[in-house]
Amino acid sequence: MTEHQEILRREPGDVVQGEIVPDDAVREEPGFGVAVAQFAPGPDKAANLATIARLARTAAARGASLVVFPEYSSYFVDPLGPALVENAEPLDGPFVTALAELSTELDAHLIAGLVARGSDERRFRNLLVAVSPGEGLVASYGKLHLYDAFGGRESDWVEAAAIDEPQTFSIQGVTIGMQTCYDIRFPEVSRRLVDAGADLVAVPAEWVRGPLKEHHWRSLVTARALENTIYVAAADQTPPIAVGASLVVDPMGVTIASLAEREDVAVAWVDPRRLDEVRRVNPALALRRFRVEPV
C-alpha cells in the first residue's frame, strides 16, 4: 500500500508517518461492506433473533452496510414437518418487524430467510426478506426450485413460489437481488435477476452436508458470479446439518471473503468500479445471444 492509498483510508486529524492528515487528503471510497453471517437457526424464535442481532452488530462494527443471513433464519427444525407450518409468520409478523427495527438501529440493510405462511394450512412458504433502515421491508423472494434431491423432499411441506418479476433494492447505486439455496443450481435464476439489473445477488442457504456437497456449493456460487460478472454473497447455515462455508465472490470469480464451519461473520467490500472494470474486460452479458424465459 502506498502512503497515498493509506491516507485515503484515514480520517482528518489522523497521524501518518508523523504528519497530521489534512482535511482535503481524505476521500470517500466508493462502495460498501457486505457481510455473510452464518449460524444454525433452531426452533427457538427468540434465540434465533438474538443471534441475528449479535451477528448483525458484529458485521456493522466491521463496516458492513448489508448483512446476509441463512435460509430458514426465523425458525428451523430437521426434518421438515408440521412444526414449520405451525410456526410460519406473515410478512408483517414479529420476525420481519424485529428485523426492520434492527436494520434501523444499526443503519444497515439485512437479508434473512423467513418461514412464511402459505396459501393453505398444509404448507409454508420459504421466503427471503430484505429490510432497509427506516423503510422496513423493501423486497422479498420466494424459493422457486424446491429441494427434492439428494434424498430431500422439500415439496412435501413447502409451497413453490410463483414466477413473478424479480424484486430488487439498491445500496449506493448497486442493485441487489435474491435467490435461495437450491436455486443456485439453476443458472437461469441468477441470469434473470441480472436482467432485472442486479449487480449483487444474495444467496441465503441451508446447504445440506453430504459427499461433494461443499465442492458443489463453492463451485456453483463462483460460477454464478463469474458468468454474470456480479458479486454473489452466499450465507449458509452452520453444521451439523449444513456445511457452513459462507462466502462472497467478486465479478471475476475471486473469493474475497469466506468462513469455515463455525458461527461467524465475514465482510467484503463491494466496489462498483470493479463491476465496470470486469465488464469491460469480459463483456459476456453484452455478447449473449439467448434470453431467459419461464417454462
HEC string for the chain: CCHHHHHHCCCCCCEECCEECCHHHCCCCCCEEEEEEECCCCCCHHHHHHHHHHHHHHHHHCCEEEEECCCCCCCCCCCCCHHHHHCCECCCCHHHHHHHHHHHHHCCEEEEEEEEECCCCCCEEEEEEEEECCCEEEEEEECCCCCCCCCCCHHHCECCCCCCCCCCEEECCEEEEECCHHHHHCHHHHHHHHHCCCCEEEEEECCECCCCHHHHHHHHHHHHHHHHCCEEEEEECCCCCECCCCEEECCCCCEEEECCCCCEEEEEEECHHHHHHHHHHCCHHHHCCCCCCCC
Averaged pLDDT, 45-67: 98
The confidence score (pLDDT) of residue 111 equals 99
Per-residue pLDDT at 36 exceeds 60: yes
Averaged pLDDT, 149-163: 96
CATH number of the domain bearing residue 87: 3.60.110.10
Enumerate long-range contacts of 93-96, CB under 8 Å, 24 or more apart.
94/45, 95/45, 95/49, 96/129, 96/131, 96/136, 96/137
* Within a domain: 45: yes
pLDDT, tens digit (0-9, with 9 covering 90-100), for 195-242: 999 999 999 999 999 999 999 999 999 999 999 999 999 999 999 999
State the catalytic residue, choosing from 89, 154, 159, 181.
Answer: 181
Grid cell 460498501 is found at 32
Per-residue pLDDT at 19 exceeds 60: no
Identify the domain containing residue 184 by its residue range.
31-282
The confidence score (pLDDT) of residue 295 equals 86
- Name the band, by pLDDT with cuts 50, 70 and 90, for residue 27: low
CB count in 10 Å sphere of residue 21: 17
CA gap 47, 195 in Å, rounded: 38
CA gap 167, 172 in Å, rounded: 17
143 is catalytic: yes
The confidence score (pLDDT) of residue 28 equals 75
The confidence score (pLDDT) of residue 264 equals 98
Averaged pLDDT, 256-279: 98
293 is catalytic: no
Which residues sit opposite 128 in a β-bridge?
113, 141
* Within a domain: 192: yes
* Within a domain: 9: no
Helix 213-228 × helix 187-195 angle, to 10°? 30
Q: Do 146 and 155 form a contact (C-beta atoms < 8 A)?
A: yes
User: Domain tally for the chain?
Assistant: 1
State the catalytic residue, choosing from 71, 89, 154, 159.
Answer: 71
pLDDT, tens digit (0-9, with 9 covering 90-100), for 166-185: 999 999 999 999 999 999 99
* Within a domain: 15: no
User: In sequence order, which residues have a C-beta less than 8 Å from that of residue 5 and are 6 or more positions away?
Assistant: none
Per-residue pLDDT at 2 exceeds 90: no
* Within a domain: 25: no
State the catalytic residue, choosing from 143, 154, 159, 206.
Answer: 143
Averaged pLDDT, 135-145: 98
Sheet holding 136-142, edge to edge: 136-142, 124-132, 109-117, 64-68, 32-38, 264-270
The confidence score (pLDDT) of residue 20 equals 52
* Within a domain: 22: no
Per-residue pLDDT at 144 exceeds 70: yes
State phi, psi for 288 to the nearest 5 degrees: -65, 150
* Within a domain: 289: no
263 is catalytic: no
* Within a domain: 20: no
pTM beyond 0.85: the answer is yes
- Name the band, by pLDDT with cuts 50, 70 and 90, for residue 268: very high
